[in-house]
Structure 1
Amino acid sequence: MDSGTLSGIATVICLATFIGIVWWAYSKDNKQRFEEDGKLPFADDDLPAQ
């Protein structure tokens, strides 16, 4: 294998990983969890500020 082939394989692996992460992030199974996590910064903790 030459460097061009290795570069092509690395590109395909990176693209597949990216598509997998996007699919995971936008899947309906995770929507409820991400909605709840998105509201965490606005949650009222009743802790004194330091």
Structure 2
Amino acid sequence: MDYGTYRGVYTLILMVLFLVIVYWAYNKKSKSKFDDIAQSIFEEDEVNKDPNLKEQKNGND
């Protein structure tokens, strides 16, 4: 195998990896998980603003 063949195989592997990542990111099964992660930043802000929520969370420790 020459250098050009290795580059072709490497390019093919990267293309397949890219397509797998795109499929995983836009898969409907992953949507709910990604939505929960996206909304988690707002939940942390609410806990920091409301001292009662902090007490509820820390009271269980």
Between Structure 1 and Structure 2, how many residues are aligned? 48
Q: TM-score, normalised by structure 2?
A: 0.71
For structure 1, list consecutive stretches of 5 or more residues without a partner in the other structure.
none
For structure 2, list consecutive stretches of 5 or more residues without a partner in the other structure.
52-61
Q: TM-score, normalised by structure 1?
A: 0.85
**Which segments of structure 1 move beyond 4 Å, counting only runs of 4 or more?**
none
The structure number with the bigger radius of gyration is 2
Q: Return the structure number with greater helix share.
A: 2
Higher relative contact order (CA 8 A, sep 6+): 1
Identity of aligned residues (%): 38
Note the aligned Cα RMSD (angstroms). 1.7
